[in-house]
Structure 1
């Protein structure tokens, strides 16, 4: 059974890309990929003029609610109690956005109701996934 959770969030662009003070981004969670979340930005907010989707660990978002988290392409940290800073690093440059912490907290609450933290591995069907890999390799 697949359950997808989507949560619109208002992102305020701090650096990079075309000037847009507010971007209607969307957070996504799918229990078929229980360790990951996606954050999608609409075409008008990107340099390429197409929707852009970043996929990263749900734990990164959870940890970033309390302290600086991440060392790679996506980094998250609190900015006071009301906001989070999310940095997206790519070869083309870096985009820094502020999102409301309460919107992210509501999203994370919904995802943990669906798949509790630390129980993600129970959603993964390794036999099925391995069979799919082997089928694709043949």
Structure 2
């Protein structure tokens, strides 16, 4: 079984302008970093013209399917049953996107099949990570 899950999602930027076109984004989960999810936006979809990747807790995405969650750089909340609102806060400004809840739900099911919720700690090798950290400190 693969240790990495990637799923394209359709994101719609919420802006003052009339309906914006969809932005292709990718959700990414790697068993070697079991607590985290990454969401990547391609260069053409960003103001800087470079690919942007946000990393946040998988639990944030799970909880955000049912209720508003997040106080930091990434916030998630349901918008009806069919959509999810994701806010990305940076010093340069805030981006708000809508994604289809069904796409996120499928992604989370795949991640849970790979690493069940609450059992992420079984994927972490603290001895190896500590040895690597100590080696890098020298």
Q: State the TM-score, normalized to the length of structure 1.
A: 0.95
Segments of 5+ residues of structure 2 without an aligned counterpart are none
Asked if 1:124 is matched to 2:124, the reply is yes
- Whole-angstrom distance in 2 between the partners of 1:86 and 1:69: 10
- Aligned partner of 1:98 in structure 2 is 98
Number of residue-to-residue matches in the alignment: 136
Paired residue secondary structure (2:14): strand
Alignment-derived partner of residue 15 in structure 2:
15
TM superposition score normalised by structure 2: 0.95
Q: 2:21 & 2:15 partners in 1: Cα distance?
A: 10
For structure 1, list consecutive stretches of 5 or more residues without a partner in the other structure: none
1:110 corresponding residue in structure 2: 110
Structure 2: distance between partners of 1:119 and 1:25: 27
Task: Flag the 1:2–1:137 CA change in 2: closer, same or farther, 3 A.
Answer: farther
Report deviation, 1:2: 6.6
* Structure 1 residue 15 displacement after superposition: 3.2
Give the deviation of 1:60 after TM superposition: 0.2
Superposed CA offset, 1:21-76 (max 9, x none): 21010000000000000000000111110000000000000000000010100000
